[in-house]
Amino acid sequence: MSIRIVIVDDNALLRAGLATVLDIDPEFEVVGEAASGPEGVYRATELQPDVVLMDVEMPGGDGITATRELVTRFPDLRILILTMFDLDEYVAEGLRAGAAGFLLKTTEPQALLRAVRDCAVGETPLSPRVLERLVENFIDRPAEPEPPPGYELLTDRERDVLLSLAEGRSNAEVAAHLHLAETTVKTHVAQVLFKLGVRDRMQAAVLVHRAGLVGRDKQR
């Protein structure tokens, strides 16, 4: 089955460009477009896509509010924020609203396809460098580590996986780093999200950074 996508951006030329790149690959199907946040909510509700590419600033209604509304209605929907900059307040707001990650509007075609594909299967398209800057700018960390609720339920291996996620690694990169099969990593990730009570990898990463666990000795 193809990955169904809705593109939400007030720039018709950009929408057309994204649609052209995505439609070249038979793995993707652009099922709809919208020029504002409210229209994006309507189209996504109507079409039930797997992934929404969501701009943030649109004259007819912003993408952050639309993202929050869609995630509330459809918790499994994956939303990628579209931005012109590699880090700004919109990225942080979008992630807090429940977005799965973000894409630069200048992203190369192959990187775009990879990011959308990763997003659809639960990955977080957010580079380690950007994650680090996001944490430094928008997340308050305690002077001493304070493991979040549910952390005590994790096995040692699940904690290793969690810390790797918090460093911005993909499933494949976690597998290589911890010398595990990628299918095993996927199972561990699912358990980590369940035990921590979070909906996706980004929320788990933010939780770990907010707890002050990254860059310190692991808590056992």
Class of domain 3-135: alpha beta
Q: What angle do CA 56, 57, 58 make, to 5 degrees?
A: 115
> What are the domain boundaries of the chain?
3-135, 141-211
CA distance 180 to 184: 6
CA distance 137 to 120: 27
Instruction: Tell me the per-residue pLDDT of 45-103, one tens digit each, with 9 for 90 and over.
Output: 999 999 999 998 898 899 999 999 999 999 889 999 888 766 567 777 887 788 888 88
CA-to-CA separations, 169 to 2, 30, 190, 201, 205, in angstroms, rounded:
25, 28, 15, 10, 10
Q: Which residues are 83's β-sheet partners?
A: 104
Check residue 41 and give its pLDDT.
97
Q: Are 36 and 61 in contact (CB under 8 A)?
A: yes
Q: Are 214 and 163 in contact (CB under 8 A)?
A: yes
pLDDT, averaged in runs of 10, over the chain (220 residues): 94 94 94 96 97 92 94 92 73 81 84 87 67 64 76 95 85 90 92 90 81 59
- Largest Cα–Cα distance of the chain, in whole Å? 52
The model's pTM is 0.72
- Mean residue pLDDT of the chain comes to 85
Tell me the fold of 141-211: Arc Repressor Mutant, subunit A (1.10.10)
Q: Are 170 and 118 in contact (CB under 8 A)?
A: yes
E strand or H helix at 67: helix 63-73
Instruction: Name the percent of the chain lying above pLDDT 90.
Output: 49
